[in-house]
Structure 1
Amino acid sequence: MGVVVVSGTGTEIGKTVVTSAIAAAALAAGRSVAVLKPAQTGVGPDEAGDAAEVVRLAGPGVTAAELVRYPEPLAPDTAARRAGLATLAPAEIATAAEKLAAEHDLVLVEGAGGLLVRFDAAGRTLADAARLLAAPVLVVAPAGLGTLNSAALTAEALRARRLDLLGLVVGSWPAEPDLASRCNLADLPSVSGAPLLGAVPQGSGALDPAAFRAAAPGWLAPELHGTWSAGEFMTRWA
């Protein structure tokens, strides 16, 4: 697939765990994988960030890269301004991803929060980096009530920018899904115009890494190097 941009309909919805699962499944399929975290916020200089978490869960075979780090858990533009640090331009993200793509089969570019979170004062976003890369965008969405609106808005923003929406993955599928979550399995593809490509069980990030790697392909569709079937999953939870 080359480069895939992993975004979300919001923050704290499982993007890093989904990115880790895709990386693990791709490695298991014999692909070489890199993960790029353009802007890491809310993490101290000596703390492990999201890219390191992908390596921990998916395995040391993943190449991890991070471009900038800001101490406060805010949008990159705001965090950079408050810290008195330089912002990050989409062109820098694209250049870094292209360099990784020259040496890897798959590069996963994990954004910060949602698609239109600002990276700089000019209002440039992850969508601008995806445009420069001509890369498809995978959207991670929550399972429950409210996700249809945010998924539809994200899909509309991608279409308005003529960007390819690869599909959606539910970032944290509950062990006992409520009515809204079950109905959303069918409704998410309908409102977004894109296929459902996986559902990662809630709490998967807390698994032992070996167990995580063994299970990851079963959470993702073949398009993401997995064995998961949307039809079978929907039938189970209908």
Structure 2
Amino acid sequence: MTILVVSGTGTEIGKTIVTAAVAAAFRDRRVAVLKPAQTGLAPGAPGDAAEVARLAGGHVTAVELARFPEPLAPGTAARRAGLAPVRPYEIAEAAQKLAADHDLVLVEGAGGLLVRFDGEGSTLADAARLMAAPVLVVAPAGLGTLNATALTTEALRARGLTCPGVVVGSMPAEPDLAARCNIDDLPVSAGAPLLGWVPAGAGALPPADFRTRAPSWLAPELGGNRRAPNGPASG
């Protein structure tokens, strides 16, 4: 697994923090994080790739391909800004170039799997196919997540893409009934294992604490040491 795509079932569900946790868990490896399209930020403001590097540590190389000022889907944001969109082949070429001198390249998408990157309807899934890369799915904890996760993983399988598993992006410190039940139900809906959960608010931890605690949130497949989904915990 040299390249791993990180996608979500929607937006604002913890993709960046999960990406940072995976990067931190692989602290003994050379890791790069690639953000193909950053939307909703002004020039010079730190973006998602920079946030991953801040939390995960100095072993992370942060790369952003394009930035569009409005908080919209990348294709729409590029069109409205009068800027060239990011094409799937550009994402694949950038990731493969990073893979030449890094042990792991994490490609963090924008929003959900099928959000459009250009006027032709290209998506992160198209880039993943070009890279022949597995796609890790980040999902919310509560009501509605089972359907959204099932739809996302079904779309991956329909495109011949592999999903190594699902990570809950923001697990409440006191999860409600739905969130507790979803720990058992998410792997069934996804047809893929639950590979961990990141506690809500983890991104606000001091970076040193984040790096120390990140492995406890993730399964060994993602560099962590959590052995089984035996109930939500803050790490």
Q: Is the TM-score greater than 0.5? A: yes
C-alpha RMSD of matched pairs (Å)? 0.9
Name the residue aligned to 1:81: 79
CA drift of 1:46 comes to 1.1
The separation in 2 between residues aligned to 1:59 and 1:231, in whole angstroms, is 27
Name the residue aligned to 2:23: 23
Q: TM-score, normalised by structure 2?
A: 0.98
The separation in 2 between residues aligned to 1:85 and 1:22, in whole angstroms, is 32
CA drift of 1:166 comes to 1.1
How do 1:178-217 residues align onto structure 2 when only pairs under 5 Å count?
178-217=176-215
Name the residue aligned to 2:124: 126
Is 1:136 matched with 2:134?
yes
The separation in 2 between residues aligned to 1:232 and 1:154, in whole angstroms, is 24
The separation in 1 between residues aligned to 2:115 and 2:45, in whole angstroms, is 23
Is 1:95 matched with 2:93?
yes
The separation in 2 between residues aligned to 1:224 and 1:120, in whole angstroms, is 31
CA drift of 1:232 comes to 2.7
1:172 is paired with a residue of what secondary structure?
Answer: strand
Q: Which has the higher helix share?
A: 1
Question: Structure 2: which 5+ runs fail to align?
Answer: none
The separation in 1 between residues aligned to 2:228 and 2:12, in whole angstroms, is 24
Name the residue aligned to 1:7: 7
Question: Across the two proteins, how many residue pairs are aligned to each other?
Answer: 233
CA drift of 1:97 comes to 0.1
Paired residues of 2:29 and 2:59 also in contact (CA < 8 A): no
1:232 is paired with a residue of what secondary structure?
Answer: coil
CA drift of 1:53 comes to 0.2
1:64 is paired with a residue of what secondary structure?
Answer: strand
Name the residue aligned to 1:44: 42
Q: TM-score, normalised by structure 1?
A: 0.96
Q: Deviations over 1:3-46 (max 9, x none)?
A: 0000000000000000000000001xx11100000000001101
| Equivalent AA in structure 2 for residue 118 of structure 1 | R
2:75 is paired with a residue of what secondary structure?
Answer: helix
The separation in 1 between residues aligned to 2:50 and 2:80, in whole angstroms, is 25
The separation in 2 between residues aligned to 1:105 and 1:227, in whole angstroms, is 19
The separation in 1 between residues aligned to 2:52 and 2:180, in whole angstroms, is 28
Question: Structure 1: which 5+ runs fail to align?
Answer: none
The separation in 2 between residues aligned to 1:222 and 1:60, in whole angstroms, is 22
| Equivalent AA in structure 2 for residue 5 of structure 1 | V
Q: Deviations over 1:116-174 (max 9, x none)?
A: 00000000000000000000000000000000000000011001101001100000010
The separation in 2 between residues aligned to 1:38 and 1:88, in whole angstroms, is 7
The separation in 2 between residues aligned to 1:193 and 1:206, in whole angstroms, is 32
